[in-house]
Amino acid sequence: MARELAESTLDKFRSRLEVENSRLSEILEELEEELETSRMTETAAERSPDPGNAEAGSMKFEYEKERSLGENTRDLLRQVEHAQGRLDAGKYGICERCGKDIPVARLEAIPYATLCVEDAARR
């Protein structure tokens, strides 16, 4: 049977998840703005007389880097939102695979964790 976390502990994690959600949302917004700027710069470079120049290659690299960072940030944001949903549903701190408790130390390190250490290692 899974343990019940104290309300104060749940409140602490709820607050941490809200802060993380806001932080990731802000980062994502900034990345999307940078991505749009990179996209516009890349489009301008493609119209330049020599689109194969080093500057165009550098812009493409920056564009891909921004796109990758955006994907990673969106993935983390989904994980945080999923953990918030589990918290609201009363399932926070319980492994999604085996139903055992997720150690509080693991939740302290990764507040959006939904798997116990053993199941996360098997992944």
pLDDT of 19 higher than 80: yes
Q: Burial, 85: exposed, middle or buried (Cβ in 10 Å; 0-12, 13-18, 19+)?
A: exposed
**pLDDT for the residue 44:** 56
Residues 1 and 98: their CA atoms lie apart, in Å, by 11
The residues, ordered by sequence, that sit 6+ positions from 96 with a Cβ below 8 Å of its Cβ are 114, 115, 119
| 111 and 20 Cβ atoms separated by less than 8 Å | yes
**pLDDT for the residue 56:** 62
Q: For the residues 66-71, what does the mean pLDDT come to?
A: 88
**pLDDT for the residue 64:** 81
Q: For the residues 32-40, what does the mean pLDDT come to?
A: 79
**pLDDT for the residue 37:** 79
